[in-house]
Structure 1
Amino acid sequence: MSTNSIRVAIIGSGPSAFYAAGHLLLQSDPEVWVDMYEHLPTPFGLVRYGVAPDHQKIKNVTKVFSKTASHPRFRFFGNVTYGKDIMLADLKRFYHAILFATGASVDRKMGIPGEDLPRSYPATEFVAWYNGHPDYAHLTFDLEQERIAVVGVGNVAVDVTRILLKDPDELAKTDIADYALEALRKSKVREVYLLGRRGPAQAKFTYPEIRELTSLPNIDVIVPPEEAELDPLSRKELEENPDKDVEAKVELIQELAHKQPEGKPRRLILRFLVSPTELLGDEETGVQSMKLVHNELYATEAGTLRPRPTDRYEELPVTEVYRAIGYRGVPLPDVPFHERWGVILNADGRVLDPETNQPLYGLYCTGWIKRGAQGVIGTNKPDAVATSEHIIEDARAGRLLAPETTDPDVIEQFVRERQPDFVSWEDWLILDRLEVERGKAQGRPRVKFTSVEEMLEAIRREKMTAG
């Protein structure tokens, strides 16, 4: 390292982490060296474990990230957990700046009676399960139920609904986890309710997502005509602020509301302006039904349209529920956290001292742990660049940490002592090659390793064979 250089630790290896690393490595004043730490042996976070397996094109962004990882000033330490293997005090010994890019990994709760009954699941866990995430591979989901409700109308809710309804033979061409594919082949799901608390114009899913879902060849789509119609406030808002994507979504939903069922084997029922108020059942039998309240929209002082309950209720005959109403971040040891917002306490990416509300030198955050779970993968790029620019700005102003040493060999030896089984980028490339080879044999993009032990053993075996 030159005298005009800094070493940055990035915690996390998802899109935000790689976008930040890519921007930092482009800098020359100062020159930046990046060490990326990841809890799992595998990189790419949300792209690998959040993007639906039947959306392979979206995963092509990993080619860009891999190019970043090939940079000579980049290192990857996988299978190293912040808060267990390494702590903040350890990182401060070796780095001028520490950037947290740990995402938002847990679900937001509905806050209603019966939410924790058996067969009431967080969509976050279901998504991680069918994507082969090692921390969730052991879970089981009861797909013996015929009627299911998915609460929420964002893209995650649409992904969950599509995976539940799609022909397993189509999923067999993807990188879905083998155990999930087997379970979905045996699934008895015949009817899925997709529930939105506001109207069609406020649904968070994108037009391509809902178009894909409602075009599945094996399903009838049902939309109550009265719920497909826009209320006066939504019509006025759309007239005053035209939005082609919203208009396309509304038009599609209204078309579906006038389409007659054809007797296909599975049904999707799209509902709007309804909110769950209670899950009925008990600990022994699990969810037996869901109580809904019908909503109406009103304009807030800020001009946004919000739902409020009416005096109309109904009961849905569903026996399984997936809640997909948003993600939130998880607090990290020794890092200030805003509990209500579910993010690291920060001002535009600079971590703040909760007592003084002033920036803590050398500590930064980016992505969903910075701003909350919003946007798509590409949304994280400008966000990561903005935080990276603050790191560069603070480096030039002398507002970073003063590490004891930045010697790469000393850092690697320290990590090895704390976690002898850390995974390097070269190790990951071995796993990547093996997964792709296993997939090729089955006509699939890859067959994932779904346990840490299996991953580490595969790396050891390949190294022994090669060496």
Structure 2
Amino acid sequence: MRHIAIVGSGPAGYYTAEAALKLWGDEVRVDIFDTLPVPFGLIRTGVAPDHQSIKGVSRRYEATALTENVRFVGNVTIGRDVTIAELQDLYDAVVLATGAPNDRKLGLPGEDLPNVFGSASFVGWYNGHPNFADLDPALSHDTAVVIGNGNVALDVTRILAKSPAEFEGSDIVAHALTALDASAVRRIVILGRRGPHQIAMTPKELGELGHLSRACPRADAADFPDEAEDAALDPGQRKSVGHLRAYAAAGPCADRDVVIEFDFFASPRAIIGSERVEEVEVERTRLENGPNGIRAVGTGETYRIPAGLVVACIGYQTSKMPDVPYDERGGHFANEDGRIAPGLYCVGWARRGPTGTIGTNRPDGFAIIEKVAEDIGEGSGKRGRPGFDALAEERGVQVVKFTDWQKIDEAEISNARKGAPREKFVAVERMIDVVSKG
């Protein structure tokens, strides 16, 4: 019997478990560990609450989780309850699928001022992640600045711009919905260092901004190259730029309460304020061809945007673990095609950094299991699951199983407000209470 431990219950973790089942069938036992008592990682706490169709992929993971050979081991923190070395002693292979849950720092003066957030914390706040439920952002100023030109920046912008009625059918948590209902934000400025042709925004997410009931997106036609140059873009990028051109060509926003401004060729230089953020200093940029492609360089021209909220959506990095080598530059575990050390592997964002879509993690999971198979053969006779259970009992660790998660799931669905699929528990203690009572 082969015994595999996967640390992280998000897409990469479950795709890796699926791959192990397809390769070995009944000759493998997989334990999927997570710090939280609930599974599915960024599907639960990273995907926008109004994108319920994307969250539906969790049903695929559930099918894997309900097999006898795969077990969810929630409420277990690696480093506190069990170490990586102990897992390696118990399992033939340990695969780190922890994702990239931490924000990259801006590296700017003033970024530690109150009401300046990274997207991981801000998204975690409105998605009900227990680590960020108490964030309590102040939405009392009329202007918010969102830094970044990717889909996460669009998610944050859309959530700030929506009317309360537009959240029907979403699983946005109650505390965020209440705060957004009382929000004074009426202007959202999206800063991008480069131009429209260099965005990382996809057509669907960009197009959604044009259908908001109380907000209108706008761009400056002067920021665009000649329209003939759009032909060189790939089809998706061309469609995205088409949305932006439409926003630039639209008339004034007289009948809308909220204006969304795309500010291209704009690089933040400092965040200014005393007790909290009050302004963002921005430098105009221009594009230059460099050895690594097109880059933005400063022109020396600066201006300031008055703002009471700043959300930086500039990327993520993997959490470090004791005794696991780390690639500081890449922001993920140091590895060679997923191999970290004998018996220790990484997959998904923990391997390659935060690139690709949710589905990109499936081939990644299958590829890492092929490497595990090469390395462990028929297994080494390690104790695996029974060994961990004995260790957990000895240390008094309250393990949450998938059947326990189903009780939490049922309670969240029962607690849902009208028109919502669920009301998430935002405190681990409440989740454990449901499990204990059940």
Normalising by structure 2, report the TM-score: 0.96
Q: Matched residues in 2 for 1:65 and 1:328: separation?
A: 24
Question: Cα gap change, 1:145/1:371 in structure 2, threshold over 3 Å: closer, same or farther?
Answer: same
Query: 1:423 maps to which residue?
Result: 400
Cα offsets for 1:245-269 (capped at 9, x unmatched): 1111112211211211232111101
Unaligned stretches of 5+ residues in structure 2: none
1:27 alignment partner, SS class:
helix
Q: Matched residues in 2 for 1:368 and 1:68: separation?
A: 21
Question: Cα gap change, 1:56/1:30 in structure 2, threshold over 3 Å: closer, same or farther?
Answer: closer
Measure how far apart 1:220 and its partner are: 2.4
2:329 alignment partner, SS class:
coil
Q: Structure 1 residue 438 and structure 2 residue 415: aligned? A: yes
Query: 1:270 maps to which residue?
Result: 262
Measure how far apart 1:22 and its partner are: 0.4
Query: 1:383 maps to which residue?
Result: 364
Q: Structure 1 residue 299 and structure 2 residue 289: aligned? A: yes
Query: 1:357 maps to which residue?
Result: none
Q: Structure 1 residue 260 and structure 2 residue 251: aligned? A: yes
Cα offsets for 1:146-193 (capped at 9, x unmatched): 101000011111101100010122224311111111111111111100
Q: Which one of 314, 325, 330 corresponds to residue 341 of structure 1?
A: 330
Measure how far apart 1:205 and its partner are: 1.0
Query: 2:425 maps to which residue?
Result: 449
Cα offsets for 1:34-83 (capped at 9, x unmatched): 01110000000000000010000000100000000011111111000011
Question: Cα gap change, 1:71/1:309 in structure 2, threshold over 3 Å: closer, same or farther?
Answer: same
Q: Structure 1 residue 230 and structure 2 residue 221: aligned? A: no
Measure how far apart 1:235 and its partner are: 6.8
Query: Which runs of structure 2 are paired with 1:266-415 in the superposition (5 Å)?
Result: 266-282=258-274, 284=275, 286-302=276-292, 304-351=293-340, 360-396=341-377, 402=380, 404-406=382-384, 408-415=385-392
* Aligned AA (2:389): E
Measure how far apart 1:29 and its partner are: 8.3
Question: Cα gap change, 1:29/1:131 in structure 2, threshold over 3 Å: closer, same or farther?
Answer: closer
Measure how far apart 1:419 and its partner are: 4.4
* Aligned AA (1:429): Q
Confirm or deny: 8 A CA contact 1:30 1:395 kept in the other structure.
no
1:28 alignment partner, SS class:
helix
Confirm or deny: 8 A CA contact 1:157 1:324 kept in the other structure.
yes
Confirm or deny: 8 A CA contact 1:218 1:265 kept in the other structure.
yes
Measure how far apart 1:219 and its partner are: 1.1
Confirm or deny: 8 A CA contact 2:140 2:308 kept in the other structure.
no
Cα offsets for 1:306-344 (capped at 9, x unmatched): 111112222112222110001111111111111121110
* Aligned AA (1:259): A
2:57 alignment partner, SS class:
helix
Q: Matched residues in 2 for 1:88 and 1:68: separation?
A: 24
Measure how far apart 1:107 and its partner are: 0.9
1:205 alignment partner, SS class:
coil
* Aligned AA (1:367): G
Q: Matched residues in 2 for 1:364 and 1:18: separation?
A: 15
Q: Structure 1 residue 15 and structure 2 residue 7: aligned? A: no
Q: Matched residues in 1 for 2:170 and 2:241: separation?
A: 30
Select between 267-276 and 411-420 the one with higher mean Cα deviation.
411-420
Q: Matched residues in 1 for 2:424 and 2:394: separation?
A: 28
Question: Cα gap change, 1:326/1:24 in structure 2, threshold over 3 Å: closer, same or farther?
Answer: same
Confirm or deny: 8 A CA contact 2:325 2:334 kept in the other structure.
yes
Q: Structure 1 residue 97 and structure 2 residue 78: aligned? A: no
Instruction: Report % sequence identity.
Output: 39
Q: Structure 1 residue 152 and structure 2 residue 148: aligned? A: yes
Once superposed, which parts of structure 1, at least 4 consecutive aligned residues long, lie more than 6 Å away?
none
Q: Structure 1 residue 121 and structure 2 residue 117: aligned? A: yes
Measure how far apart 1:409 and its partner are: 3.1
Measure how far apart 1:145 and its partner are: 1.4
Question: Cα gap change, 1:404/1:67 in structure 2, threshold over 3 Å: closer, same or farther?
Answer: closer
Q: Which one of 427, 435, 438 corresponds to residue 459 of structure 1?
A: 435
Q: Matched residues in 2 for 1:24 and 1:119: separation?
A: 44
Q: Matched residues in 2 for 1:450 and 1:190: separation?
A: 28
Query: 1:166 maps to which residue?
Result: 162
Confirm or deny: 8 A CA contact 2:253 2:259 kept in the other structure.
no
Question: Cα gap change, 1:105/1:419 in structure 2, threshold over 3 Å: closer, same or farther?
Answer: farther
Measure how far apart 1:421 and its partner are: 1.7
Question: Cα gap change, 1:215/1:443 in structure 2, threshold over 3 Å: closer, same or farther?
Answer: closer
Measure how far apart 1:122 and its partner are: 1.0
Confirm or deny: 8 A CA contact 1:196 1:274 kept in the other structure.
yes
Question: Cα gap change, 1:112/1:403 in structure 2, threshold over 3 Å: closer, same or farther?
Answer: farther
Q: Matched residues in 2 for 1:443 and 1:149: separation?
A: 30
Query: Which runs of structure 2 are paired with 1:181-200 in the superposition (5 Å)?
Result: 181-200=177-196
Normalising by structure 1, report the TM-score: 0.90
1:76 alignment partner, SS class:
strand
* Aligned AA (1:207): P
Query: 1:243 maps to which residue?
Result: 234
Cα offsets for 1:211-253 (capped at 9, x unmatched): 10232121122212212x127xx976x55x4411111111221
Confirm or deny: 8 A CA contact 1:94 1:403 kept in the other structure.
no
Q: Matched residues in 1 for 2:344 and 2:55: separation?
A: 30
Query: Which runs of structure 2 are paired with 1:68-107 in the superposition (5 Å)?
Result: 68-107=64-103
Query: 1:465 maps to which residue?
Result: none
* Aligned AA (1:261): P
1:43 alignment partner, SS class:
coil
Query: Which runs of structure 2 are paired with 1:186-225 in the superposition (5 Å)?
Result: 186-225=182-221
